[in-house]
Chain A
Amino acid sequence: MVLLKLNNVIKDYLLGKVVVSAVKGVSFFIRKGDFVSIAGPSGSGKSTILNMIGLIDVPTGGSIVLEGISLTSLNDKELTRLRHEMIGFVFQSFNLIPVLTVRENIEFPLLLGEKAKITPEKREYVDYLAKEVGLQDHKKHRPNELSGGQRQRVAIARALVTQPKIVLADEPTANLDSVTGTAILDLMKKVNSDLGTTFIFSTHDATIVGLANHVLRLKDGLIIEDFRRGA
């Protein structure tokens, strides 16, 4: 089942008076439950594509369709709502709220939607996620009391708390050592298998690419390879 479809997507930036083309017309689709790696060197456009899929940036041209909804015609309010309901983010620098505890950081997205209410069921789910990412004993800690790996685990739990269709991870292991990075990827893979959540992450690490079942390789804003393992 196709979850996401990009058709001839272009993204131009204005750098002073110069137009810079970050993405030069890419087309691909992603199925529900895919574990997707967008790989490529720096400046290839992988983060730009990830941002457009995550609804935090808009394409200059082309179209993006998410679960049958065309994203190009949505206004900021609608994009915000859709982002909250369908997308989870795992940032390279974790981007946790420094003044909130682990538990509060995980449940934070639940307070952002239109029906911002934490029910007992949601609270249980927060506890479940904290346990899943191995932080059940650190729920009252602040981010500055955690290691890099622990922080990224919190970020993963936070990305999953709204039960999104897609989790986007922009170089999630870039700031982690190799052991912790591998553990984080294992965790993502486990969630992907257990919950069926679609993961799309950008990376230029060949080891990580090896875990993905759908690999998109980019160079200079164009897709140079799009293959599915086992397809």
Chain B
Amino acid sequence: MLFKLALRNILLHKNKTLVLGLVIGIGLFVLVVGNSFLDSATKGIEKTYTGSFTSHLAVVPDQGADLPMFAASPSSANGTSVIPSYSELDTFIESLPDVESATPQLDSRAAIQFQENPISITLIFGIDPEKYKKVFPDNLDLIQGSFLKPGQDGILLSESALQALKDVGAPHNIGDQVTLSARNDISGTKIHSVALRGVIRFRSANVFLSRISLCDAGTVQYLTGVNGKVSDASETDESAAAEENPEAAFESSTSLIAPTQKHGSSFDLLNLSLKAAPLPDSTAPAPASDAWTYLLIRLKNQQDSNQLEKSIQEYLSSHKIEARVQDWLATAGPLAQTAFAIKTIFNWLIVVLGLVALLIVMNTLAISVSERIPEIGTIRALGGSKEFVRALVTWETLLTTLIFGLAGICIGIAALAVMGIVGFHAPNEFLAVILGGRDFRPSLSFDALIQSLLMTFLVGWLASLYPVALATRVPPLRAIQAE
């Protein structure tokens, strides 16, 4: 009877119910669609980054803050750009049962040059080919050439970088030499030529990520000025000396990466003209085995991420290794974090909208209660307890919220299904980055669904508090006073 009474009262006051229903329904529609949209985007971004670039966790040198992979050169003036005690740490990480695989990496922004002129700036990852493929087994397609072999030098250029070479008539066939130049805080400007081994295309990448090229570690270590040890003052001095005497710097660098001088062309350069000499064979500048900026870790189960992050951090602290462990999002940096920031802003917006909706619903219900005072008084006069009145008003509120809330959620699910089929084409690169790709197909997020259902109950319950308080204060005498 209580349910029947509540339902009939809702139907009796159609206009008020409709106002409430629209507020609740539209609110929950926005909540489901918006959150699902953003969840799909963030999941897409996460999949792109963890599957192709950052993996799940990364150990990086401790510079007092997270070290994003795509933000800037990892080298810094204080020389802590490589992970200290790398070999020891690598052995520890590989021994962890939750770790599937790990790969070291370092990166550099380098200009591809042709006849003294930079053609394009590209982000180059220095990798250990064998370990890299274990962590990222299917993240890219090889368009031309072959993947780097262990110990082999060379570069796998991105399609866009190759196109830039083609556009200016620079050598761009497999086996041709590609000249790279980079400047860093440690050792000034470095120039090095490496053989073009292949052309790659990342399977899942936005316009920025698709420009990344892969290179042998020795070359990138040379370009970034790291040498397998934590950079110290003497190297910085060499760098400073290089600015005064580039030739001296050249000697210094070649002494650090001997094979480069033997097989390729390396220069410390500030004002020197580029003379890219051909590499006669495929031997890389010997990589310094412990000079890495990132140790990327793939987990067997990503859900163990937090626990493993803690374990590794404890290990680093107990062994006094000046390194830190960070999750994929910290490694991915600001670009990937934008979508998450938008999601946070959206959630706050939802909280504000929820409060507004709450006030509207509460106010409308309070008016409804005040208009029904004789009826409530009659119920009390007939022997209805305050609990009965409380239950009646709560039922009415919850029913209104549930009926229209569920309707809003259902329409939201239907809209998402349509969007999932039709798809959404990002009109610009910024949106493509935010949405995790050009063609975006949002799907229903169960988190958003649960959140929406909880929101429905919460708004319903909170909205009922004040009207319930009003209703239970109605004395039975009001049944007669209303006459």
Binding site for B on A (CB under 8 A): 47, 51, 54-57, 76-77, 80-81, 83-85, 87, 89, 91-93, 95, 97-100, 104, 108-109, 111-113, 158, 162, 170
The answer on a CB contact under 8 Å between A56 and B5 is no
**Residues of chain A contacted by B2 (CB below 8 angstroms):** 111
Of residues 456 through 483 on chain B, the ones whose CB sits less than 8 Å from some CB of chain A are 475-477, 479-480, 482-483
Residue of B nearest to A158 (CB): B382
Asked if B385 and A100 make an inter-chain contact with CB atoms under 8 angstroms apart, the answer reads no
Partner of A57, one of B374, B388, B477: B477
User: B375 near A97 (CB under 8 angstroms)?
Assistant: yes
Q: Which residue of the partner chain, among A76, A84, A98, contacts B382 with CB atoms under 8 Å?
A: A84
Residues on B with C-beta less than 8 A from A170 are: 480, 483
State the CA gap A84–B379 with chains docked (Å): 10
B479 surroundings in chain A (CB, below 8 A)? 56, 89, 91, 95
Q: How far is the CA of A37 from the CA of B383 in the complex (A)?
A: 24
Count B-side interface residues using an 8 Å CB cutoff.
Answer: 27
Among A56, A77, A92, contact of B385 (Cβ-Cβ < 8 Å): A77
Q: Write 6 A-B pairs (CB below 8 A) sorted by A numbering.
A: A84-B382, A92-B480, A93-B482, A98-B12, A99-B8, A108-B382
* B379: chain A residues within 8 A (beta carbon): 97, 112
> B residues within 8 A CB of A113?
383
Additional pairs, 5, CB under 8 Å, beyond known A80-B383, A80-B476, A98-B375: A55-B476, A91-B480, A95-B378, A98-B12, A99-B8
Asked if A112 and B381 make an inter-chain contact with CB atoms under 8 angstroms apart, the answer reads no
Contact check: which of A80, A87, A93, A100 meets B483 at CB < 8 Å?
A: A93
Contact partners of A100 in chain B: CB under 8 A: 5, 8
**Does B385 lie within 8 Å of A104, measured CB to CB?**
no
Bitwise interface map of B from 1 to 21 toward A, beta carbon under 8 Å scored 1, else 0: 110110011011000000000
Residues from chain A with a CB closer than 8 A to the CB of B386 are 76, 80
Known contacts A99-B5, A99-B9; is-contact A91 B483 (Cβ 8 Å): yes
Are the C-beta atoms of A95 and B385 separated by less than 8 Å?
Answer: no
Q: CA A132 – CA B227 in complex, angstroms? A: 105
Closest CB of chain A to B477's CB: distance in Å? 5
Judge if B150 is at the interface, Cβ distance under 8 Å: no
| Complex CA–CA separation, A194 to B3 (angstroms) | 36
B299-348 interface with A by 8 A CB criterion: none
Once A84-B382, A112-B384, A112-B385 are accepted as A-B contacts, the answer to whether A56 and B476 lie under 8 Å apart by CB is: yes
B197 contacts the other chain (CB 8 A): no
**Residue among A95, A113, A162 with most chain B CB within 10 A:** A95
Would you give the shortest CB distance from B133 to chain A, in whole angstroms? Answer: 71
Cβ-defined contact, B383 with A104, below 8 A: no
Bound-state Cα–Cα, A111 to B6, Å: 14
Q: Which residue of A lies closest to B384 (CB)?
A: A112
A residues near B12, Cβ cutoff 8 Å: 98-99
Task: Indicate if B263 sits at the interface (CB-CB under 8 A).
Answer: no
B380 within 8 A of A: yes
Q: Are B5 and A97 in contact (CB under 8 A)?
A: yes
A203 CB to nearest B CB, Å: 14
